């Protein structure tokens, strides 16, 4: 799984850079969940969760520029989208703990 860059492009406005970065993070999360590479399901879930965390971090950085209602909507949406992934991760950890 590849890491998506947070690089700003000089020929783009700041809002366009932010949108591009967020879009690439979400596309990377989706690619991870589709299991494009031969890594384990655990690694795919982990990668997607990291992408969601990055999206939420970027949204926090631009919180005051986008307004509180937009921030809440996007943050809550991404958080809710990631919840099933947390459940998958938690189930794996529980199985490993029971095995030990």
Q: What is the pLDDT of residues 53-71, one digit of tens each?
A: 999 999 999 999 999 999 9
Cα separation, 22 vs 1, in Å, equals 17
> pTM of this prediction?
0.79
The tens digit of pLDDT for each residue in 69-79 reads 999 999 999 99
Q: Is the Cα dihedral 61, 66, 71, 73 positive or negative?
A: negative
């Amino acid at each position: 799984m590849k890491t998506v860059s947070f690089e700003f492009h000089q020929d783009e406005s700041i809002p366009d850079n932010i949108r591009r970065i967020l879009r690439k993070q979400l596309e990377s999360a989706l690619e991870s969940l589709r299991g494009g590479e031969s890594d384990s399901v655990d690694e795919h879930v982990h990668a997607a969760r990291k992408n969601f965390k990055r999206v939420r971090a970027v949204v926090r950085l631009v919180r005051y520029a986008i307004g509180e209602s937009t921030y809440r909507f996007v943050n809550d949406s991404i958080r809710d989208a990631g919840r099933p992934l947390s459940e998958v991760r938690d189930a794996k950890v529980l199985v490993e703990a029971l095995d030990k």
